[in-house]
A = this chain, B = another copy of it.
Amino acid sequence: MARGRKVNSNGEKSMKLLREKAIEIFSEYGYFQTKISDIVKAANVTQPTFYLYFESKETLYKEIITEFKFNLEEIFDDTVNEYEHHQDSKVTIQVLLTRIFNYFALNPHLTKIGLTESDMSLNGILSQKFKNICEKFVSNFLNNEIASHIFVQSLIGSVERVSLSALLEENMKPEKLAEEIVNIYFSREEATVSI
């Protein structure tokens, strides 16, 4: 049987395809129920080809998680920098959430992996960053440190669940979701902002 390089084959392409298929399948079946054989079948290559581009199943998975985390932090940092001098943190947060939800909507499989992967979760990635942003706002009406800690965790939980359900499963609009969450968390006395 013929062996060796496939006609029209192209390393860059194979690698990208493998990663894409891996993300799809990981997101659907989870790490342990995803077999290398499934991934390569979906990418229409053989198992050794997988190892041409990735060190191992675990490495690829970690790369994917890292990519998710990296993108998320980038969105976060960019937004914060941009809005650094904005006086109303509520606005910042609504913009931030809108961008995050938009990113999630554009990368549903990657997001499902990132949010489901319990060892990581948004909590690990964003807890401190959210804390910083919320601080100013929160200190206005929350009387103590503990309350604000819980406030942030609660917010993160909301974002996680709403992302998995309303956004990814029910296809609601990112903007709408961001607005509603901000409404819940940051509308004690004022009306919602519109951006």
Most chain B C-beta atoms within 10 Å of own C-beta, residue among A158, A159, A177: A158
Considering the complex, which residues of chain A in the window 165-195 have a beta carbon less than 8 Å from any beta carbon of chain B? Answer: 165-166, 172, 176-177, 180-181, 183-185, 188
Bound form: Cα–Cα A157–B160 in Å: 7
Q: Mark A79-93, 1 if CB is under 8 A from B, else 0.
A: 000000000000000
Q: Mark A139-166, 1 if CB is under 8 A from B, else 0.
A: 0000000110111011111111110111
Count of A residues near B, CB < 8 Å? Answer: 35
Is A116 an interface position by the 8 A CB rule?
yes
Bound form: Cα–Cα A157–B33 in Å: 26
Mind listing 22 A-B residue pairs with CB under 8 Å? A30-B32, A31-B32, A32-B32, A123-B164, A123-B165, A146-B172, A146-B180, A147-B180, A147-B183, A150-B176, A151-B184, A153-B161, A153-B162, A153-B165, A153-B166, A154-B158, A154-B161, A157-B158, A157-B159, A158-B158, A184-B184, A184-B185
Beyond A123-B164, A146-B172, A146-B180, 12 additional pairs, beta carbon < 8 A: A32-B32, A32-B33, A121-B161, A150-B177, A153-B162, A153-B166, A154-B162, A155-B158, A157-B157, A157-B159, A158-B158, A160-B160
